[in-house]
Structure 1
């Protein structure tokens, strides 16, 4: 196992109570996470040693049902538009939906700070979009309604910060 894999593994063990943290293969660590709001999802940290890249995924626990994939695809597209770092992905074949952040560390020392920024942003974004995503997956909401709700919540938080 290479330096990237070992660095990720050490970071995840040191910074998370990662339930069931286990190597999937020589490049991938997987675990399940529950955030402070009670949302649960799977996480995968991938070390692409040959390309000197680190990829972190937050993965919805259930695949999107075939009949909901078009609407979830709209949600993913709307969520991704304007997103500065990271993106949602939807596998139209099997319905897996996940959020990805990645960094290229060629010629750079892999530090806890780099990994923390990669992982924390990923987890924050999955937490922000989780309720909307699951509502669209279940058919409780359209993509447009879910995104509007998320953006309204985000604007409300920005206004609260401006008032301080």
Structure 2
């Protein structure tokens, strides 16, 4: 069923359906979900696409463990400690990142065409089925009620900070049309929102310590307002010894070939190893959603490789 409505210059549509979509994480792991509905809002200022999914308990645990789809601890609202039943599906509401809307609308702005862009097997569609192209805004589960209340329904769950970001996006877009946000402003707003303490080393570099599941390391965010470039570096806390640099360089070369976003770098002079992600927003603007993708991808990748890098450094020591 498709519902269409117009609100000023904005066109909204909805399609109910039932099909399996397999999302891939940056590590290549599968996240299987039953897609139930797609909501599409198209306007000249900003378009938005939302999917309503059902996943098994095990997939929800994958999302939490890997912090996929923006499900970071910092993004989960305080007081949202909800205990879900393991034998019941989990309902997810996920929002497509703005950087992928052009790919989603490549076949047209009709909701059926957008859905086809997701499910077809093509090079253009694969980025739309990557887990880090989406942000989870709501997590819910329907509760089993007593027989006496069999006709009613009750759902428990929580909203993430991405839902709040989506709710206020219209106002922020309106403001940005008259006053373009600076890169530093977006970086500051995001880090403050995620409650990540940081400091500006100078006018172009923000520095913070990030604590992952496997270790702690320094993250640098570099901005260039003139060129409209933003770069995130995760710096491994230990330099690679000279005797391990050849082995490390070979390993990084092979891994960089398979990485979808970003790349590892190593300085042969001092052994510094870092992971780099960057975005060029010339003729556009850096948004919270875009920076989240840049930052989250960076720290998730570094955390995943943290112990592997340590094993190579410690080899034969």
Deviations 1:82-107 (A, max 9, x none): 21210000010111100000000112
Larger helix proportion of the pair: 1
Q: How many Å separate the matches in 1 of 2:276 and 2:195?
A: 18
- 8 Å CA contact 2:206–2:220 kept in 1: the answer is yes
Please say which structure displays the higher CA radius of gyration: 2
Unaligned runs of 5+ in 1: 142-164
The alignment status of 1:67 with 2:243, answered yes or no, reads yes
Higher RCO, 1 or 2 (CA under 8 Å, sep at least 6)? Answer: 1
- 8 Å CA contact 1:75–1:133 kept in 2: the answer is no
Question: Which of 12, 18, 34 in structure 1 is aligned with 2:191?
Answer: 12
Deviations 1:45-80 (A, max 9, x none): 010112100100110011111111111111211110
Q: How many Å separate the matches in 2 of 1:128 and 1:22?
A: 25
What does residue 205 of structure 2 align with?
28
Extract structure 1 runs of 4+ deviating beyond 4 A: none
Question: By how many angstroms is 1:136 displaced?
Answer: 0.7
Aligned pairs (5 A) from 1:108-123: 108-123=284-299
Q: How many Å separate the matches in 1 of 2:223 and 2:298?
A: 16
TM-score (norm 1): 0.78
Question: By how many angstroms is 1:6 displaced?
Answer: 2.1
Q: How many Å separate the matches in 2 of 1:53 and 1:10?
A: 17
Unaligned runs of 5+ in 2: 1-180
Q: How many Å separate the matches in 2 of 1:140 and 1:123?
A: 28
- 8 Å CA contact 1:75–1:136 kept in 2: the answer is no
Aligned pairs (5 A) from 1:1-164: 3-18=182-197, 21-35=198-212, 37-139=213-315
Q: How many Å separate the matches in 1 of 2:297 and 2:316?
A: 27
What does residue 60 of structure 2 align with?
none
Question: By how many angstroms is 1:140 displaced?
Answer: 6.2
Query: How many residue pairs get matched?
Result: 137
